[in-house]
DNA sequence: AGATAGTTATGGCATATGTCAATAACATTA
DNA sequence: TAATGTTATTGACATATGCCATAACTATCT
C-alpha cells in the first residue's frame, strides 16, 4: 500500500540511491535511455540503479522517445528498394518510389501515406535545401507527421498563391507547418491563388515582391505535392478554390487529374484552359526543372490520375501504397 | 497442437492471408518493421495481417533490428552535452567528451565504454574520412560493437607497426575489424611494431612502402586509441610488446601512462627513452595534427594516466564513464 | 500554519513481448 | 522412395511492458 511510505521506508530508499543521486546534472532521461536502448537492460534493473520505480523508468523512456533523444527509424532506402517499388520505377521512369503496405482499413490510408511521406522527406532532406510546397489535405497531413528536426539553412516556399477560400489545408498553413517542424525559413507567397482575369495575374507577376518569390522558386531543390483525380467530388470545387464550371471545362478537355498546380489528361498531356491564365502558381517549366519532385498519394480511385501525372513527369519521386503501386504496374503492363 | 495442421487448416489460413501473399517480393521483414515501429501496431495484429504466427512476427522484428533495417539510436550530441561532460571539456580543453553512466558491475566497464566509443565513432564518421587506428583491448572491443555501416570512401590505417607478439588485440586485427565493419579500405602497416635498433627503424622508415604509409597517416582525419596507466601490471609487457626493463626506464623517467604510441608523465610532458627510437609508430607531430583524436577509456586506476594524456593534448575527444570523468574534474579542481 | 491546486511518482494489474522446446517443411543423400 | 540432416515456424509459458487511478510531494494562497 503506497500510504505506508514513512521515514523507515525513506531510509531504505536512500540506501538504494547510491549510484545516481539526482544532484548529478546528467539527465536521467538520457541515462535511462542509454541503459535501456544501448545496453538492453530491463526496466526493473534500471529502476534499481536510478533509485526510482519501474514506472518512472517507463515514463523517462517515454519522454526520451517523445523528445527525440532516442530515434527509432526504418532505413528508408530499403522501402524504396522493395520489389513493387522497383518495378514501378522501371515502368514509369520514376527515379524513386516508396511503397507502403496497404492498411486493412481504407480510412487510414491517406493518413499513413502522408506519414511515410514525412519520413521520406526527412530522409532526403539536407542542408541548404529549398522546398516548394503545394497545398492539400495530404500535404497538410504530412506536415503533422514530421518530427522536429534541424538542418542548417532550409527554406520552405509556397508554390501556389495563398487561396482565400475557407478550408483548413491552405497553402499558407501547409507551408508554415512544414517550415515550423523543420526549423526552416518560411517564405509565403503574398498573393491570391486565383484572380479574376488574366490581366490581374500579369500585373501581380510583375510586382517586385512576387517576382522575387518566383525567382526564389527557381532555386527549389525539392517540391512536395499531392494529386487529385477529377471524377466525382473533388476538393478543388468543394474548397472554393475554383468553380464547378471552370473544373468542368478541364473535364471536357479530357483532364483526369490535378497535381502541383496543373491539370493533365490520361496520357500525361498537360491540359490548359482559361483558368490557367488566372491561376497564380509556379511556372510549369520551373516546376519540371526541380531535381526532386515528390508526389504523395495513393488510393484505388486515384490510379488513373497518378498514371497521367507520371506520364506528364510532374513527379519523379512517388510515395504511395502497395495496392496503388500494383494497379499502376498493371496499368503500365496493359499498355504494352 | 501443431500436428493437427491439415488441408482444412491450410485453407482457413489462406483466408486470412488475403493481404500479403508471400508471392509479393516485398520483404516481410520490412513490412513487419514498418507496421510495428512506424505505425505502432501490436505484434498480434501484424501476425494476422501477414498470416503468420505472432512468434514469427517477433522473429521478423528481431531480424530487422539485427540487420539494421530499423535503427534505434540515442542522439549522441545529447550525451556529449550532459553536464559532467561539459564541465570536463571546459577544464581540460577537450573539444568533446562523451560520458557513460558508470555501470554497477566494474567488470563490464571496459566493455561498455568501448560500446559507447563505437557509437561515437559511428556518429562522427562521414564520407572520405581516414581513420588512424591504434591497438589494444579497448580498440578491439570497440570494433566488435560497431554496427555495419557504409560510407563512401573511408580509409582505415594502422598507426603502429604490426607487433609480432602473441596477443589477440594486435594492431592488424584492430584495423581489419574496424575496416570490415565500416566497409572501408584497410591499410595495414607492413612492419614490426618494435625493432632491435634505431638503425633498423631508420632503414625501415626509408623503405618506399613504409614511407608511403606514413605519408598516408598525415592525411588522417581521425585517430582512435586507448590509454594505459603504467603502475601495476600493464599489457605493454604482458603482451610481449616491450620488455619489463624498457618499461621500467619510462617509469623511472616519471612516465605515468601510454597512449597512441607515446609515454607521458603526470603533467603531460612526453617522456622519451631509447625505446622510442626503436618503436615504429606515427610521428608525434603528425599525430597531434589529426583534427579528431579520440581516446576511449575509463577506470579509477586510469585517472592519473588520462589526466596526463589530456595535458599532453594527445586526445581532443574523450569517451569515458562518469566516475572517471568526475575524478578528472576533481583532479583539475585540485590543481587550481 | 493550514488549506488548495497542480505536478510528479508509484503500485498493481491487464496486456504485450521474449523464449524455447517441439514440430513441420524442406533439401539432400543413399 | 526412405532416411537423414537442416531450417523455419509455432504454441505455450514466463517475463517485461504499458497504463491508470491514486499517493506523495511542491508551490501558492488564505
Phi/psi of residue B71, nearest 5 degrees: -115, 120
* Residue given cell 517515454 in the structure block: A62
Contacts of A33 (CB under 8 A, 6+ apart): A60, A61, A64, A69, A70, B74
In the block, cell 541503459 appears at: A35
Nearest to A322 among B26, B74, B322 (CB): B26
- Smallest CA-to-CA distance from B94 within B283, B287, B306, B321 is with B306
Contact state of B79 with A19 under an 8 Å Cβ cutoff? no
Question: Would you state the cell numbers that stand for residue B61, as one nine-digit string?
Answer: 522484428
- Interchain proximity A74–B322, CB inside 8 Å: no
Buried residues in B197-235 as b, exposed as e (16+ CB within 10 A): eeebbeebeeeeebeebbeebeebbbbbbbbbbbeeebb
| Strand C lies under 7 A from the Cβ of residue B60 | no
The helices-and-strands tally (H runs, E runs) of chain B is 16, 12
H/E stretch holding A58: helix A54-66
pLDDT value at position B313?
97
Q: Is the CB of A26 under 7 A from strand D?
A: no
- Contact A280/A204 with Cβ under 8 angstroms? yes
Best A42, A46, A78, A323 member to test B by mutation, with max B CBs in 10 Å, is A78
Tell me the pairing of strands A185-187 and A155-158: parallel
Rounded-to-integer distance, Cα B329 and Cα B331, Å: 5
Round and report the angstrom distance from CA (A59) to C1' (C7).
14
Residue A74 to residue B37, Cβ atoms within 8 A: yes
Sign of the alpha-carbon dihedral angle for A128, A132, A320, A115: positive
Considering the four listed CATH numbers 3.30.465.10, 3.30.70.1290, 1.10.3720.10, 1.10.10.60, the one that applies to the domain covering A2-66 is 1.10.10.60
| B30 contact residues in A (CB cutoff 8 A) | 74, 78-79, 82
Among candidate residues A290, A260, A282, A285, the one with its CA nearest the CA of residue A129: A290
As given in the structure block, the three cell numbers for residue B129 are 574520412
Of the partner residues A84, A104, A116, the one whose CB lies closest to the CB of residue B26: A84
Taking the C-alpha atoms of residue A210 and residue A281, their distance in angstroms, rounded to an integer, is 11
- Given the candidates 3.40.50.1360, 3.90.79.10, 3.40.50.880, 3.40.1000.10, the CATH classification of the domain at B76-335 is 3.40.50.1360
Torsion from C-alpha of B281, B148, B126, A223, nearest 10 degrees: 170
Nearest Cβ partner for B30 among A79, A112, A116: A79
End-to-end CA separation in angstroms for chain B: 74
Residue A150: count other Cβ atoms within 10 Å of its Cβ. 9
Give yes or no for CB of A143 within 7 Å of strand D.
no
C-alpha cell at A11: 531510509
Residue A40 approaches strand D within 7 Å at CB: no
CB atoms within 10 A of CB A215: 10
**Binary contact (B72, A37; C-beta < 8 A):** yes
**Is any atom of strand C within 7 angstroms of residue B195's beta carbon?**
no
Q: What is the DSSP letter of A101?
A: P
* 8 Å CB contact between A74 and A119: yes
Specify the nucleotide whose C1' lies closest to residue A57 (CA).
C9
Name residue, grid cell 572501408: B184
Q: Which residues touch B59 (CB under 8 Å, ≥6 apart)?
A: none
**B248, B318 in Cβ contact below 8 A?**
no
Using an 8 Å Cβ cutoff, are A225 and A136 in contact?
A: yes
> What pLDDT shows up at residue B164?
57
- H-only helix segments in A196-318: 198-206, 208-217, 235-238, 244-252, 284-289, 303-311
Residue among A33, A73, A99 whose CB faces B71 most closely: A73
Nearest to B273 by CA among B319, B234, B242, B238: B242
Residue in B with minimal Cα distance to A18: B104
Contact B83 A35 (CB under 8 A): no
Q: In what order do the strands lie in the sheet with A130-133?
A: A96-100, A317-321, A292-296, A222-225, A130-133, A155-158, A185-187
Note the pLDDT tens digit of each residue in B165-220.
Answer: 666 778 899 999 999 999 899 999 988 888 999 999 999 999 999 999 999 999 99
Distance, in Å, from the CA atom of B40 to the CA atom of A145, rounded to the nearest integer, reads: 14
Specify the pLDDT at position B156.
96
Strand C nucleotides with an atom less than 7 Å from a protein beta carbon:
9-12, 15-20, 22-25
Per-residue pLDDT of chain B in tens (336 residues, 90 and over written 9): 232 233 333 333 333 322 333 334 457 788 888 989 988 888 988 888 888 888 889 988 888 888 888 888 888 888 887 888 889 999 999 999 999 888 878 888 999 999 999 999 998 998 899 999 999 999 999 998 898 777 889 999 999 988 756 667 788 999 999 999 998 999 999 888 889 999 999 999 999 999 999 999 999 999 999 999 998 888 777 777 888 899 999 999 999 999 999 999 999 999 999 999 999 999 999 999 999 999 999 999 999 999 999 999 999 999 999 899 999 999 999 987
Question: Which single residue is written with the C-alpha cell 557513460?
Answer: B100
- Which cell is A296 given? 504523395
% of chain B exceeding 70 in pLDDT? 91
Q: Which residues from 46-85 of B have any strand D atom under 7 Å from their CB? A: 52-56, 59
Eight-class DSSP state of B279:
B
Q: What is the pLDDT along chain A (336 residues), one digit of tens a residue?
A: 232 333 333 333 333 322 333 334 457 788 888 889 988 888 888 888 888 888 889 988 888 888 888 888 888 888 887 888 888 999 999 999 999 888 878 888 999 999 999 999 998 998 899 999 999 999 999 998 998 777 889 999 999 988 756 667 788 999 999 999 998 999 999 888 889 999 999 999 999 999 999 999 999 999 999 999 998 888 777 777 888 899 999 999 999 999 999 999 999 999 999 999 999 999 999 999 999 999 999 999 999 999 999 999 999 999 999 899 999 999 999 987
- First CA to last CA distance, chain A: 74
- Domain assignments of chain B as residue spans, ordered by start: 2-66, 76-335
Label residues A18-32 b or e (16+ Cβ within 10 Å = b): ebbeeebebbbbbbb
By CA distance, what is B118's nearest residue in A? A38
Give the predicted TM-score (pTM) of the model.
0.76
d(CA B270, CA B179): 30
CB B152 under 7 Å to nucleic chain D: no
Q: Which residue in B129, B120, B93 sits closest to B314, CA to CA?
A: B93
In a mutational test of the A interface, the residue from B41, B74, B115 whose CB has the highest number of chain A CBs within 10 Å is B74
Q: Give, for A100, the enclosing helix (H) or strand (E).
A: strand A96-100
Distance, CA of B313 to C1' of C16, in Å: 51
* pLDDT on residue A166: 62
Q: Three-class SS of residue A12?
A: helix
Amino acid at each position: 500500500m503506497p500510504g505506508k511510505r514513512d521515514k523507515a521506508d525513506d531510509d531504505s530508499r536512500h540506501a538504494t540511491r547510491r549510484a545516481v543521486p539526482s544532484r548529478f546534472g546528467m539527465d536521467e532521461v538520457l541515462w535511462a535511455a542509454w541503459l535501456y536502448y544501448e545496453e538492453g537492460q530491463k526496466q526493473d534493473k534500471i529502476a534499481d540503479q536510478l533509485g526510482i520505480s519501474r514506472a518512472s523508468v517507463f515514463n523517462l523512456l517515454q519522454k526520451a522517445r517523445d523528445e527525440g533523444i532516442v530515434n527509432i527509424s526504418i532505413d528508408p532506402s530499403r522501402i524504396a528498394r522493395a520489389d513493387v517499388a522497383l518495378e514501378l520505377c522501371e515502368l514509369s521512369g520514376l527515379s524513386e518510389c516508396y511503397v507502403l503496405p496497404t492498411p486493412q482499413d481504407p480510412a487510414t490510408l491517406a493518413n499513413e501515406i502522408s506519414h511515410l511521406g514525412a519520413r521520406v522527406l526527412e530522409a532526403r532532406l539536407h542542408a541548404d535545401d529549398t522546398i516548394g510546397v503545394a497545398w492539400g489535405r495530404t500535404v497538410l497531413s504530412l506536415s503533422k507527421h514530421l518530427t522536429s528536426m534541424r538542418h542548417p539553412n532550409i527554406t520552405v516556399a509556397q508554390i501556389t498563391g495563398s487561396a482565400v477560400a475557407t478550408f483548413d489545408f491552405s497553402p499558407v498553413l501547409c507551408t508554415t507547418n512544414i517550415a515550423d517542424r523543420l526549423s526552416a525559413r518560411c517564405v509565403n507567397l503574398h498573393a491570391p491563388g486565383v484572380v479574376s482575369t488574366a490581366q490581374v495575374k500579369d500585373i501581380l507577376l510583375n510586382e517586385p515582391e512576387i517576382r522575387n518569390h518566383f525567382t526564389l522558386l527557381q532555386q527549389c531543390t525539392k517540391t512536395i505535392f499531392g494529386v487529385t483525380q477529377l471524377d466525382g467530388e473533388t476538393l478543388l470545387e468543394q474548397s472554393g478554390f475554383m468553380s464547378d464550371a471552370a473544373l468542368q471545362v478541364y473535364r471536357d478537355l479530357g483532364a483526369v487529374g490535378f497535381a502541383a498546380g496543373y491539370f493533365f489528361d490520361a496520357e500525361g498531356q498537360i491540359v490548359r484552359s482559361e483558368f490557367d491564365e488566372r491561376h497564380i502558381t509556379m511556372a510549369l517549366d520551373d516546376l519540371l526543372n526541380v531535381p526532386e519532385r515528390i508526389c504523395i498519394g495513393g488510393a484505388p480511385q486515384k490510379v488513373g490520375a497518378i498514371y497521367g501525372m507520371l506520364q506528364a513527369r510532374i513527379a519523379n519521386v512517388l510515395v504511395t501504397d502497395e495496392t496503388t503501386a500494383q494497379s499502376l504496374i498493371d496499368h503500365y503492363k496493359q499498355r504494352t
